[in-house]
Structure 1
Amino acid sequence: MKPLRILDVTLRDGGYRNNFDFSKECAVRIVQGLAATGVDFVEIGYCNGSFVRRPEHGLTSRVDDGYIAALLCAAGASARPGAAPKGGAATKLCVMVHPLNVTRQDLFALAAQGIDVIRVCLRPDQLDAGLATIADARAAGMAVSANVTRATELPRSTIIRMAVLAEEAGADLICIADSNGAMIPADVERLIGDLALSVAVPLGFHAHNNLSLALSNAIAASAAGAEYIDTAINGMGKGAGNLHLAMFIAYLDRIGRNHTYDLVKALELSSFAAREVPENAKPHPLIDVMTGAYNLSIDAVAKVAASQPARRARPEARPEVRFEALKELHEQRDSERRDGVGLVAPRPAVSASPARSESAAAPA
Structure 2
Amino acid sequence: MSQQTTAGTPARPILIHDPTLRDGHHAVRHQLGREQLRAYAEAADAAGVPVVEVGHGNGLGASSLQAGRALLSDAAMLSVVRDALSSSRLGVFMLPGWGTTENIRQAVAHDVDLVRIGTHCTEGNLAERHLGLLRDAGVDAHGVLLMSHMATPERLAEECAQLVGFGATGVGILDSSGHYLPADVTARIAAIRSAVDVPVMFHGHNNLGMAVANSVAAAEAGATILDACARGFGAGAGNTQLEVLVPVLERLGYDTGIDFYRLLDAADIAERELMPAPPTIDSIGVVSGLAGVFSGFRNRVLDVAAREGVDPRDVFFELGRLQAVAGQEDLIEDVTLTLRAGSTGRDERTASHV
Classify the TM-score, shorter chain.
0.7 to 0.9
Change (3 A) 1:205 1:217: same
SS in 1 for 2:176: coil
Pairwise mapping of residues 328-343 of structure 1 onto structure 2 (< 5 A)?
A: none
1:56 to 69, 82, 86: 69
- Please say if 1:15 is aligned against 2:10: no
- Please say if 1:104 is aligned against 2:101: yes
Inter-partner Cα distance in structure 1 for 2:82 and 2:299: 37
Q: 2:53 corresponds to which residue? A: 43
SS in 1 for 2:240: coil
- Please say if 1:189 is aligned against 2:189: no
Moved more, 255-264 or 194-203: 255-264
TM-score, length-scaled by structure 1: 0.77
Letter in 1 for 2:135: R
Change (3 A) 1:124 1:222: closer
SS in 2 for 1:99: coil
| Residues 17, 280 of structure 1: 8 Å contact kept | no
Q: 1:288 corresponds to which residue? A: 285
Pairwise mapping of residues 93-242 of structure 1 onto structure 2 (< 5 A)?
A: 93-123=90-120, 127-242=124-239
Q: 1:352 corresponds to which residue? A: none
SS in 1 for 2:78: helix
Change (3 A) 1:133 1:37: same
Q: 2:331 corresponds to which residue? A: none
- Please say if 1:312 is aligned against 2:323: no
| Residues 17, 279 of structure 1: 8 Å contact kept | no
1:27 to 37, 50, 53: 37
Change (3 A) 1:20 1:100: same
The alignment-based identity, stated in percent, is 25
Moved more, 44-53 or 216-225: 44-53
Change (3 A) 1:156 1:12: same
Inter-partner Cα distance in structure 2 for 1:68 and 1:181: 28
Inter-partner Cα distance in structure 2 for 1:237 and 1:273: 12
Moved more, 28-37 or 49-58: 49-58
Letter in 2 for 1:102: G
Number of positions where the alignment pairs a residue of Structure 1 with one of Structure 2? 310
Deviations 1:287-346 (A, max 9, x none): 1102222323358878977996xx42568xxxxx4435655776x679xxxxxxxxxxxx
C-alpha displacement of 1:25? 1.3
Change (3 A) 1:42 1:329: closer
| Residues 152, 188 of structure 2: 8 Å contact kept | no
Inter-partner Cα distance in structure 1 for 2:71 and 2:84: 20
Inter-partner Cα distance in structure 2 for 1:54 and 1:271: 29
Change (3 A) 1:38 1:121: same
TM-score, length-scaled by structure 2: 0.79
Inter-partner Cα distance in structure 2 for 1:23 and 1:39: 21
Change (3 A) 1:306 1:247: closer
Change (3 A) 1:124 1:148: closer
| Residues 238, 280 of structure 2: 8 Å contact kept | no
| Residues 20, 230 of structure 2: 8 Å contact kept | yes
Inter-partner Cα distance in structure 1 for 2:208 and 2:136: 39
Change (3 A) 1:304 1:97: closer
Larger Rg: 1
- Please say if 1:71 is aligned against 2:81: yes
